[in-house]
A and B are shown apart, each in its own frame.
Chain A
């Protein structure tokens, strides 16, 4: 169990590109996980970040990143929640909206577009979080989606990190993640 952002970044740096990681987040370590990836790991590896947000709207994350004084210029968001909220989608340069978290193909298409758009550098793709996608999609279509997207990203030497909120993960989700990801990493304050 990793405890700090720095440790998470170190652990990730050991991994080769094309890795797909199931990052299990427990307790209140959510922002530690984001910091470890976005603020430490990505700059050290010179990666552009593509951040798929399903759990909370992109502007909320952007606000937090600003407070943490994290450089936003190389972070792109695929925002799947704001459109489902009344008055949620605000125009922002680095934010690409998907109408609904059920439009999984469109998530893949936006990610694909951003990978191409940022083709000078390698990418790390963050999916935050599989639990939230599970609310809107059944496990069959979700496995299919992860399988296709993660394979595509592997083929493009990108790192993929899928968040699992440990306390709400179902057995189905855990089984699926075991199938599509290369390894599990846990981050948390307890245990």
Chain B
């Protein structure tokens, strides 16, 4: 029901700053949406999400990257070769990196398996940070690593729902990065995440006559019409570039 309401009124957009993606989405991600960015490793999820944050920071929207698997020091050193990146964004606190293990540590979330109460504590802490730093864009890389510690569908559902609600009420547009194996027939490891997220962007590798192409496809996006076609992307110092996948069926 809510979905229809959202569709009837044009929602404010959060332009990703990635021209190709904004074109696909008719201007950007509807503000406050929580998007599942999903794909196997090496498909460019982290790079794309970082660019989303850098553009946000450049547009004066405070942006937060929560790194679960890789240390954020490494990320800042290795993954920002963009021409448009400015070191000062980090110094000024426009672009903030936080390591999830530190959040776990500080909150005493040391159990291998989180309880429902732990989920609440974690979501509240992320909400606190978003409030304190006036965060408008958030990336969690990856949500799959968090889900490993949630284990049950019930808790994963609870986590995604709560984090989505916490972020959307704060007007924070978020990308949750999800790792799947290339052969998976669904968009998330547990199948739960995809049903709850406001949007799904699928990134993958496609083989065509022996060539391997990196692809991107917006599978679902609440609050906007969008192309569902596959696009081919390239990770360049000018950012992520997208062109439509050629079909070659034409004639």
A and B touch in the complex (CB under 8 A): yes
Q: Which of A139-155 contact B (CB under 8 A)?
A: 139-141, 143-145, 148, 152
Residues A99 and B211 in contact in the complex (CB < 8 Å), given A144-B248, A144-B250, A148-B243:
yes
Q: Contacts of B250 on A, CB cut-off 8 Å?
A: 140-141, 143-144
Q: A109-B232, A113-B234 are in contact. Are A138 and B243 (CB under 8 A)?
A: no
> Which residue of the partner chain A has the closest CB to B236?
A113
Identify which of residues 213-251 in chain B touch chain A, using a CB-to-CB cut-off of 8 Å: 213, 232-234, 236-238, 241-251
Interface-centre pick from B241, B245, B247 (highest chain A CB count, 10 A): B241
Known contacts A105-B213, A112-B243; 16 further A-B pairs (Cβ under 8 A): A102-B210, A105-B243, A105-B246, A106-B213, A108-B243, A109-B234, A109-B241, A113-B241, A117-B238, A139-B251, A140-B249, A140-B251, A144-B247, A144-B248, A145-B246, A148-B244
CB proximity of B81 to chain A, nearest CB, Å: 13
| B209 contacts chain A at the CB level, 8 A cutoff | yes
Most chain B beta carbons < 10 A, residue from A113, A145, A152: A113
Closest Cβ–Cβ distance, residue A156 to chain B (whole Å): 12
Q: State the 9 A-B residue pairs at the shortest beta-carbon distance, nearest first.
A: A141-B248, A105-B232, A109-B234, A140-B250, A108-B243, A116-B238, A140-B251, A113-B236, A140-B248
Tell me if A103 is interfacial: C-beta within 8 Å of chain B.
yes
Q: Which residues of B contact A148 (CB under 8 A)?
A: 243-244, 246
Determine the distance from Cα of A42 to Cα of B81 in the docked complex, in whole angstroms.
30
* Chain B CB within 8 A of A110 CB: yes
**Identity of the chain B residue whose Cβ is nearest the Cβ of A145 in the assembled complex:** B246
Q: Judge whether A100 is part of the interface by a CB distance below 8 angstroms.
A: yes
The answer, among B236, B238, B245, B248, for a CB contact under 8 Å with A138, is B248
Contact with B along A76-97 (1 / 0, CB 8 A): 0000000000000000000000
Q: What are 25 A-B contacts defined by CB distance under 8 Å?
A: A100-B210, A100-B211, A102-B209, A102-B211, A105-B232, A105-B244, A105-B245, A105-B246, A106-B213, A106-B232, A106-B234, A109-B242, A113-B241, A116-B241, A117-B83, A117-B237, A138-B248, A140-B248, A141-B250, A143-B250, A144-B246, A144-B248, A145-B246, A148-B244, A152-B243
Closest to A105 in B: B232
When distances are taken between beta carbons in the complex, the residues of chain B under 8 Å from A117 are 83, 237-238
Q: Does A34 contact B (CB under 8 A)?
A: no
Number of interface residues of B (CB under 8 A): 23
Are B209 and A104 interface neighbours, CB within 8 A? Answer: no
Interface residues contributed by chain A, number (CB under 8 Å):
24
Chain B interface (Cβ < 8 Å from any Cβ of A) = 83, 208-211, 213, 232-234, 236-238, 241-251
| Residues of B contacting A145 in the complex (Cβ-Cβ under 8 angstroms) | 246
Q: Digitize A95-130: 1 where CB-to-B-CB distance is under 8 Å, 0 elsewhere.
A: 000011011111011101100110000000000000
Query: Nearest chain-A residue to B248 (Cβ)?
Result: A141
How far, in whole Å, are A20 and B210 apart by their CA atoms in the complex? 31
Q: Which residue of chain A lies nearest to B211 when distances are taken between CB atoms in the complex? A: A103
CA distance A108 to B250 in the complex (A): 18
Residues of B within 8 A of A141 (CB): 246-248, 250
Shortest beta-carbon distance, B213 to chain A, in Å?
Answer: 6
Complex Cα spacing A94 to B245, Å: 26
Return chain B residues, CB-CB under 8 Å to A103. 211, 213
Q: Which single residue of chain A is at the shortest CB-CB distance from B250?
A: A140
CA–CA, A140 to B251, complex, Å? 6
Whether the Cβ atoms of B213 and A112 lie closer than 8 Å is no
- Chain B proximity mask over A35-62: 1 for CB below 8 Å, otherwise 0: 0000000000000000000000000000
Contact A143 B211 (CB under 8 A): no
- Give Cα A92–Cα B243 distance, bound, in whole angstroms: 25
Q: Cα distance A139–B249 when bound, in Å?
A: 10
Kindly report which residue of chain B lies nearest to residue A108, judged by CB atoms.
Answer: B243
Question: Min CB distance, A110 to chain B, in Å?
Answer: 7
A54 to B: closest C-beta gap in Å: 15
B2 nearest CB across to chain A (Å):
37
